Amino acid sequence: MLRRFTGVAISDFGCAFNAYRRDAVEPMLGSIGKQKFTKALILSGGASVQEVEVSHRAREGRSRYSPLRLLRLALHVLAGFWPQPIQWIGVALGILCTLVATGLLVYAIGFWIENSNFPGPLLLGVLVLFVLGIQGFILALVGEYLGRIQRDVEGRPLYTVEREL
């Protein structure tokens, strides 16, 4: 899950034995400490990695990670490295509700013409679905603003320049 959402192809996120070049860490200094996965943060900024196998001792006793703690950790990864879930949910909700409302509207107009009977409750449902679709698109817009605020607060650069030509 960590590799997928962070976009960083490393095998061990949990190992705390790391060494970094100074020029790879400096652009991310504003974000370190606000993000649990420092290694993924540094590598997502464009730094390269060379992994060296180290021997790990087996854990003595039980793990401190309960299912609730693992869920919180997964949510932390989603919020820290994938700031668009609100946008995706908003767009999906907007498109789905708009398509369903359009289909129901076409059906209601056909029913009205064919039976000469005004389908008031159905058209009210169509109106509710259109409003819900508009709210979905507004939610996506709010998600975009939240993503921009998150990037500004973290101080994480969008990209780093190694050298100018």
Q: How far is CA 73 from CA 41, 76, 160, in A?
A: 15, 5, 27
CA angle 42, 46, 48 (to 5 degrees): 80
Instruction: Identify the pLDDT of residue 124.
Output: 93
What is this structure's pTM? Answer: 0.58
State whether residue 46 is helix, strand or coil.
Answer: coil
Q: What is the pLDDT of residues 99-131, one digit of tens each?
A: 999 999 999 999 999 998 888 899 999 999 999
| pLDDT over 90 (residue 94) | yes
Q: Is 58 left (phi over 0), alpha (psi -120 to 50) or beta?
A: beta
Cβ atoms of 59 and 108 within 8 Å: the answer is no
| Ramachandran category for residue 46: left, alpha or beta (phi over 0 → left; psi -120 to 50 → alpha) | left
